[in-house]
Amino acid sequence: MHTVWIPALHRDLTGGADRVEVEGATIGEVVLNLNRKFAGLADRLAFDNELRAGISVAVNGVISSRGLRQRLPEPSEIHFIPSIAGGS
């Protein structure tokens, strides 16, 4: 079972929960299982079998370059990280 930290931007779909527990052998499976629990979450995190532009994923504190294909050790801590825009 993995602990997934939910960005504040998406907590409206999780009833305000900042972290949830889900299973999956890859980030892609985690996203599918998140969507089973919280309808609409997959659409916010992924599109066309890739993480959405502006979303990164960290597994156990390491940013993954493999996106949805990233394999997961058990158990893992997963953070979906939205890009921060702004500045001058």
Distances (CA, A) of 55 to 1, 28, 31, 38, 40: 22, 13, 13, 18, 16
**CATH number of the domain that 34 lies in?**
3.10.20.30
pLDDT at residue 82, rounded to an integer: 87
Q: Is 48 left (phi over 0), alpha (psi -120 to 50) or beta?
A: left
Confirm whether 24 is domain-assigned.
yes
Query: Which residues are bridge partners to 56 per DSSP?
Result: 81
Residue with tokens 């801590």: 77
- The whole-angstrom separation of Cα 32 and Cα 35 is 5
Confirm whether 40 is domain-assigned.
yes
The predicted-structure confidence for 1-47, as pLDDT tens digits, reads as follows: 999 999 998 999 999 999 999 999 999 999 999 999 999 999 999 99
Confirm whether 87 is domain-assigned.
no
Host domain of residue 6: 2-82
Global pTM value: 0.90
Count of structural domains, the chain: 1
Confirm whether 30 is domain-assigned.
yes
Amino acid at 77: E
